[in-house]
């Protein structure tokens, strides 16, 4: 009797996991998308805290408009996406493993999803995606470690600079990771960081091909030549190309 109950409970858990996984990979873009943002003082510095205290969700209106306009181009109607500022958290998400073996990656993924479950509170409301924004004082940290996001669970750990001078690029990184949670893939060469032709180009049919005028958002850089590129200054210097739109389910 108890064995049958345990088996039934296990089957129910597996069913919930399967349903959630299906939902994560089959986003209904006709429903409102709520993106919950939790700031974190990742280095514990007072400068970082001062910056976090100034954060205003209205500063992301341009990112909201950018995504609505991009989706309108491909879907014929804009998505209803909204950013929501969440509570400041004290605990950092688990660090991405330095050696990305399959086992390490799976274990990290499980730890990250458990972390997200631990941090969740009823006061947060219902969110489609939750991003944990880890802020660092740029006077002490010049190079940030790679940000990452999971489609299964729709969560992301985003490393950002605690500085108004970096706010435009912070927004680009955040939106890049946000699109990962909806299935968009990176479109740059992992060994060189250069955008991959043609999938990592904003306009792969441009003549002459170089220099490109914009960056493809999931490639992250504006190609200047076959081997050189530059980082865009703002989200407005990027675009979402057709390949990424297909991955997102916009086409």
Q: pLDDT tens digits, residue range 26-64?
A: 689 999 999 999 999 999 999 999 999 999 999 999 999
Q: What is the pLDDT of residues 126-178, one digit of tens each?
A: 999 999 999 999 999 999 999 999 999 999 999 999 999 999 999 999 999 99
What does the alpha-carbon distance between residue 206 and residue 240 come to, in Å, rounded to a whole number? 15
Share of residues in the chain with pLDDT > 70 (%): 90
Q: What is the pLDDT of residues 11-24, one digit of tens each?
A: 444 444 444 444 45
Identify any residues that bridge with 92 across adjacent strands, giving them in sequence order.
none
Exposed, middle or buried, 36 (CB in 10 Å: 0-12/13-18/19+)?
Answer: buried
**Average pLDDT along the chain:** 91
What does the alpha-carbon distance between residue 220 and residue 150 come to, in Å, rounded to a whole number? 18
Helices vs. strands in the chain: H and E counts, helices first: 6, 9
| pLDDT at residue number 124 | 86
Answer whether residue 88 shows pLDDT above 50. yes
| pLDDT at residue number 13 | 43
Give me the DSSP letters along 178-191.
HHHTTT----B-TT
Type and span of the H or E element at 229: strand 229-230
Type and span of the H or E element at 19: helix 2-25
Instruction: Give SS3 for 251.
Output: coil
Instruction: Give SS3 for 135.
Output: strand
What domains does the chain contain, in order, with CATH numbers? Answer: 28-180 (3.40.50), 186-251 (no CATH)
The strand pair at 229-230 and 222-223 is best described as antiparallel
Q: Which of 179, 156, 185, 175 is nearest to 64 (CA)?
A: 175
Mean pLDDT of 219-227: 96
């Amino acid at each position: 009797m108890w064995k049958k109950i345990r088996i039934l409970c296990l089957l129910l858990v597996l069913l919930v996991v399967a349903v959630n996984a299906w939902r994560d990979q089959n986003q209904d873009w006709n429903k409102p998308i709520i993106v919950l943002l939790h700031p974190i003082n990742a280095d514990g510095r007072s400068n970082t805290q001062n910056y976090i205290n100034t954060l205003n969700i209205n500063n992301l209106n341009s990112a909201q408009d950018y995504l609505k306009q991009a989706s309108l181009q491909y879907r014929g109607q804009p998505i209803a996406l909204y950013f929501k500022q969440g509570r400041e958290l004290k605990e950092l998400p688990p660090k991405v493993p330095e050696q990305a073996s399959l086992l390490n990656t799976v274990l990290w993924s499980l730890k990250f999803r458990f972390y997200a479950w631990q941090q969740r509170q009823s006061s947060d409301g219902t969110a489609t995606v939750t991003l944990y924004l880890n802020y660092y004082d740029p006077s002490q940290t010049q190079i940030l470690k790679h940000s990452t996001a999971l489609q299964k669970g729709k969560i992301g750990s985003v490393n950002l600079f605690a500085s108004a001078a970096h706010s435009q690029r912070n927004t680009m990184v955040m939106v890049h990771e946000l699109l990962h949670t909806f299935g968009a893939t990176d479109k740059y060469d992992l060994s060189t960081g250069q955008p991959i032709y043609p999938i990592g180009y904003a306009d792969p049919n441009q003549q002459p091909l170089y220099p490109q005028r914009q960056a493809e958002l999931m490639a992250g850089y504006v190609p200047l030549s076959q081997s050189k590129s530059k980082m865009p200054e703002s989200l407005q210097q990027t675009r979402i190309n057709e390949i990424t739109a297909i991955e997102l389910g916009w086409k």
